[in-house]
Amino acid sequence: MDTTRHTSSIRLKLLFMFLFLAAIATSWLSMRSWFLTEFRLSTNLIDLLDAGVISVAGITVVILLTRWMSRPVASYVGPTQINAVKLLFQIVGLSLIILIIFSITGTNVVSALVGVGFFSIVIGLAAQSVLGNLLSGIMLMLSRPFHINDRIAIITWQYGKFPPTLPHGWLEPSYTGVVKGIALTYTKIQADSEAILKIPNALVTQSLIMNLSHGKQAHVGTQFEVPIAVDPDELHKKLLSRLSKTEEFRGREQTFEVIEVSPASYLVTIIYRVEREREKETKSLMFKSIRLALLDCSEMHDKK
C-alpha cells in the first residue's frame, strides 16, 4: 500500500516537473525571440542569458528531485546510505547542467577547466573551513565510522573547555548522543540531554569517535561529593540496600571508591554495568538511590 502511494506520488511530482520545465522553455523561447528582434541583443549576451536560465531551472530540478526521491530510496538503502544517494544526485545533476551550458555557449572545456581551477584556488583560500567541512562530509559518507541512529561519543580538544553532556560524562570527556543526520557540512547528534548538536564535519573527522551502539553492555557512572563525617563504607552499604529494594534496577556494580579527599568532604566514584537498552532507566534509578542513601547516612549521623 505504501509502495503504491509512493509510486503515484512520484509520478505526479515528475509530471509537475515536466510541465514546469515545459513552461519555462516555452516562456524563455518567446522572450529570447523578442530580445533578438526588438532589442537586437548580441549572440554572446543571449548565450549568457541561456546559461543563466538553464542554471536556475537545472538547480531547481536537482533540488526537487533530491528531495522527492530521498524518501522512497531510503526505504530500500537505509537512512545512512541516503546521504550518499543525495550527494550522488546532486553531483550528477550539477555536472549535467555544466555540460549543457558548455555545449550551448560553445565554451572550450580545457580553457574552462583552467579558469575553474584558478577560481577554485581563490575560493579555496577564502573559504577553507567551508571546503574542509564539505570534503570531510564526503569522507564520512565513504568511510562510515557510524550510521544513522548509532549512539556515539565524540572526544575532541577543540571543545575541551565545555562541560560534558551529562554529569556522568567525566568517564570520557565527550559529547554523547544519537546520530540523527550526516550532511555535507554538519553532523547532527541528539545529545543525552535531548539537545541537538550540529558539529562541523571537519571536527568530526579529527575527533576520536566512540561508537557505543556495538555490543549489549554499557556503563553508567557518576561522581559526587560526600560530607567528611559520612562513613564511605556505611554509604556503600546504604546504597546497595536501596538498589536491592528497587526491582527495576538491573545494574552490576563495577566500581565504588573514594578518589579524592578534602578537609570538608570526599569524592566518590560509582560505576555500574547495565544492558544498553536500559541505560537511561538505570541511570535515573541509580541517581535516586544515591540520593536516598545520602539521606539515610545523614539521618544516622544526626541520631549520633
Cα separation of 224 and 286, whole Å?
A: 13
Q: What is the pLDDT of residue 119?
A: 47
Q: Edge to edge, what strands does the sheet with 196-200 contain?
A: 196-200, 186-191, 175-182, 151-155, 208-211
pLDDT at 237 over 90: yes
When mean pLDDT is compared across 52-56, 124-128, 254-258, the lowest value belongs to 124-128
Contacts of 204 (CB under 8 A, 6+ apart): 136, 140, 154, 187
Given a contact cutoff of 8 angstroms between Cβ atoms, the answer to whether 300 and 229 are in contact is no
* Mean pLDDT computed over 54-70: 77
Mean pLDDT of the chain: 76
Q: Which CATH number fits domain 147-211: 2.30.30, 2.60.120, 1.10.10, 2.40.50?
A: 2.30.30
**pLDDT-derived band at 75, boundaries 50, 70, 90:** low
What's this model's pTM, rounded to 2 decimal places? Answer: 0.47
Cα separation of 291 and 203, whole Å?
A: 38
Q: Residue 211 has which C-alpha cell?
A: 561508537
The tens digit of pLDDT for each residue in 127-143 reads 556 667 777 777 887 77
When mean pLDDT is compared across 150-164, 170-184, 228-242, 265-279, the lowest value belongs to 150-164
**pLDDT-derived band at 7, boundaries 50, 70, 90:** low
Higher pLDDT, 98 or 292: 292
Higher pLDDT, 34 or 237: 237
Whole-number Cα distances in Å, 148 to 63, 151, 224, 242: 22, 9, 34, 38
Q: What is the pLDDT of residue 266?
A: 93
Ordered by start, the domain boundaries in the chain are 2-126, 147-211, 217-303
Higher pLDDT, 230 or 304: 230
Query: Which of 57-66, 80-89, 248-257 tops mean pLDDT?
Result: 248-257
Residue by residue, DSSP assigns 46-85 as: HHHHHHHHHHHHHHHHHHHHHHHHHHHHHHHH-TTHHHHH
What does DSSP assign to residue 168?
G
- Domain 217-303: state its class: alpha beta
